[in-house]
């Protein structure tokens, strides 16, 4: 996959003010007539929240889904060897965050090619 077509999601841990700073910078670029930069960011207020949200089981789910391509939740649960209800719950929460996309055929897929994490101290 070429670098230009790689869909990257930045995962950041830091105060809410960081997101406001990014919004202000984008607003100023637009006000000055400059082209907006495509930046997709998922922010968490602290590391414990990130680790609860992207637990090892959920990260394994994302990895398996990325490897297999679009599948039904039932098929994903089967491939993971996990309970359907738990996989459904995880998929629903990851979809709400924009990490997973649902197709019109109810199959799910990973929305990103690369997750890049940034942790501020």
Number of independent structural domains in the chain: 1
Query: What's the domain range around 89?
Result: 3-119
Q: Give pLDDT tens digits for 26-62.
A: 666 667 777 765 667 888 888 899 999 999 999 999 9
Q: Percentage of residues in the chain with pLDDT exceeding 70?
A: 79
Q: Give pLDDT tens digits for 99-116.
A: 999 999 999 999 899 998
pLDDT score, position 25 = 62
As beta bridge partners, residue 100 has: 110
Phi, psi of 103 (to 5 degrees): -85, 170
Place of tokens 């997973």: 100
31 to each of 20, 25, 55, 85, how far by Cα in Å? Answer: 16, 10, 40, 47
Domain with 12 in it: what CATH number? 1.10.10.10
| pLDDT above 50: residue 88 | yes
Angle subtended at Cα 100 by Cα 16 and Cα 20, rounded to the nearest 5 degrees: 15
């Amino acid at each position: 996959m070429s670098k230009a077509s790689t869909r990257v999601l930045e995962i950041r841990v830091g105060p809410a003010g960081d997101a406001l700073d990014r919004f202000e910078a984008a607003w100023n670029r637009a006000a000055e007539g400059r082209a907006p930069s495509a930046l997709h960011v998922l922010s968490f207020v602290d590391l414990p929240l990130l680790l609860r949200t992207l637990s090892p089981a959920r990260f394994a789910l994302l990895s398996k889904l990325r490897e297999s391509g679009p599948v039904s939740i039932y098929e994903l649960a089967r491939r993971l060897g996990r309970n359907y209800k738990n996989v459904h719950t995880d998929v629903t929460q990851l979809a709400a965050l924009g990490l997973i996309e649902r197709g019109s055929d109810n199959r799910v897929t990973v929305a990103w090619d690369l997750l890049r994490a940034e942790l501020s101290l």
